[in-house]
Amino acid sequence: MIELIPLLMFGVICLVLLAGFPVAFSLAGTALIFAGIGIISGTFDSSLLGTIPNRLFGDMTNTNLVAVPLFIFMGILFEKSNLAEDLLSNMADVLGGFRGSLAVSVIIVGAMIAASTGIVGATVIAMGLISLPIMLQRNYDQSLATGTICATGTLGQIIPPSIALVLLGDVLSAAYQQSQLSLGIFSARTVSVGDLFMGALVPGVILVFAYISYVLLRAYMQPSTAPAQEVKIVGNRAKIILTALLPPLVLIVAVLGSILIGIATPTEAAGVGALGAMGLALSKGSLNRENLTSAVQSTTEITSMVFMILLGSSIFSLVFRGFGGDELVNSIFNQMPGGVFGAMLIVMIIIFLLGFILDFIQITFVVVPIVGPVLLAMGIDPLWLGIMIAINLQTSFLTPPFGFALFYLRGVAPDSVPTGAIYRGVIPFIVIQILVLLCLAVFPSLVTALPDAVYGL
């Protein structure tokens, strides 16, 4: 019975979170209550609690995590200073008025904003407020418009640079080192955030092209769902591209490229991105005291939430392992039929279902440290595992009736758009993401080939 305490801990934390209690305090509080009961009953070593300050200090001094507030600030400033809205209108003008051109513009611009923000809720809300009224005004089918916005908003999970990949890369690196030590490998190589960025490039591009292909196919098979529009004549397309579209694109490519090439760490590149976003907003005349203050406040709120969850999850993870949770998970996976495939399949199903009640940050800090070391010790590639988890959660966030992206868009969509239209709209994009997941499962080289070629991993 004692060996099942880790599973009981996990069940209790899910119930507490479903009850609506704050995540960070729920994690730490639940762990400390179980630790107290364990100390009284003699089933938990109290000396383990003495290591908490060192663990928290290690989290607080992790330089990779400094990139989090900088990337968040960069994305929020894009939204607050109307850069995203300008990008959308200019992209639509440049592409022209063919059927589905506005939806294609939403996907491209949304992917850029999602990459710089990395927070599903922020991207879906921003794109919902900016693009949904325009799409409805131009007689786009409600389900196509809402499905495109929801799916595009979740791209922040996979397209680098994103907060989700920064956090996942840090957690996977620790899990990989732990798995290597458990196998007696004391000179374990590390997995960096840059490695994960590189591994995410091909799957991210595949998803964007698959979305665009679906939208165009739907527009030409059912012209009434995405009618062609008369676009104002653009006197000098080259000028619009150079002045309106190229600067933000160059900024994002420069931030990502500097990390991938190795001339800057994620933190350094994020600093450049934040400064560049301020420069772009200033050049557009949209950087004022109000926007800057609002962006800083939002960044502080989101960053505080992320780091409090990180600290709470560190305490939860420590107590979980103190009760032998890692050995229990290892034992369960090793006894599972199907070996590595069976273990991976079960983990993906569990993470998919947890995506209905927990967001990416919570799953990254709570679930991945528990299952990651065991799966990696079974020989699974850490980069492939990270990308599979990211796309799996993308799919979960889109799936009715509990997907987070659906709730976010419902909150900003007009009452004239029924919830059923939103649910119908995301189904084709869910199918696309499942097909991409299957492709990555059958062809892992879609993730690993590029990092292998560039970094020689």
For residue 229, the model assigns a pLDDT of 67
- Rounded to 5°, angle at Cα 262 from 259 and 265: 55
Given a cut of 70, is residue 235 above it in pLDDT?
no
pLDDT of residue 442: 92
The answer to whether residue 99 sits within a structural domain is: yes
Nearest to 159 by CA among 107, 104, 203, 122: 203
Give domain status of residue 145, yes or no: yes
Residue for token pair 């979980």: 320
Q: How many CA atoms lie within 13 A of 15 on its CB side?
A: 7
Q: Which domain holds residue 284?
A: 65-304+323-455
Reported as a pLDDT band with limits 50, 70 and 90, residue 117 is low
Q: Does the pLDDT value for residue 212 go beyond 90? A: yes
Other Cβ atoms within 10 Å of 304 Cβ, number: 12
pLDDT at residue 340 tops 90: no
Average pLDDT, whole number, for the chain?
81
Q: Is the pLDDT of residue 427 over 90?
A: yes
CB 367 within 8 A of CB 353: no
**Is pLDDT above 60 for 161?**
yes
Using the CB atoms, write b or e for 252-275: b if 16+ within 10 Å.
Answer: beebbebbbeeebbbbbbbbbbbe
Q: How confident is the model at residue 211 (pLDDT cuts 50, 70, 90)?
A: very high
Candidate ranges 59-63, 221-225, 365-369; pick with highest mean pLDDT: 221-225
What does the pLDDT read at residue 230?
A: 59
Tell me, what's the pLDDT at 217? 92
User: How is the chain split among helix, strand and coil, in percent rounded to 5?
Assistant: 80, 0, 20
Does residue 57 lie within any of the structural domains?
A: no
Q: Is 37 part of a structural domain of the chain?
A: no
Whole-number Å distance between alpha carbons of 213 and 143: 17
Please give the pLDDT value at position 86: 73
Q: Is the pLDDT of residue 428 over 90?
A: yes
DSSP summary character for residue 160: S
pLDDT for residue 431 is more than 90: yes
pTM: 0.79
Task: Specify if 122 maps to a domain.
Answer: yes
Q: What is the pLDDT of residues 268-283, one digit of tens each?
A: 888 888 888 888 888 8
Question: In this predicted model, what pLDDT tens digit does every residue of 3-40 receive, in sequence order?
Answer: 778 888 878 887 887 777 777 788 888 889 988 888 88
Percent of the chain with pLDDT over 70: 89
Report the domain count for the chain. 1
Residue 185 has a pLDDT of: 67
Tokens 């990139």, residue located: 67
The answer, yes or no, to whether the previous bond of 401 is cis (omega within 30 of 0) is: yes
Give the mean model confidence (pLDDT) for residues 365-373. Answer: 83
Q: Is residue 277 part of a domain?
A: yes
pLDDT at 328: 77
Contact 228, 97 (CB under 8 A): yes
pLDDT of residue 432: 94
Residue 122 pLDDT level (bands cut at 50, 70, 90)? low
Q: Does a structural domain hold residue 336?
A: yes
Q: Residue 266 in contact with residue 161, Cβ under 8 Å?
A: yes
Would residue 395 count as lying in a domain?
yes
The yes-or-no verdict on residue 302 having pLDDT over 70 is: yes
Q: Name the residue with higher pLDDT: 119 or 223.
A: 223
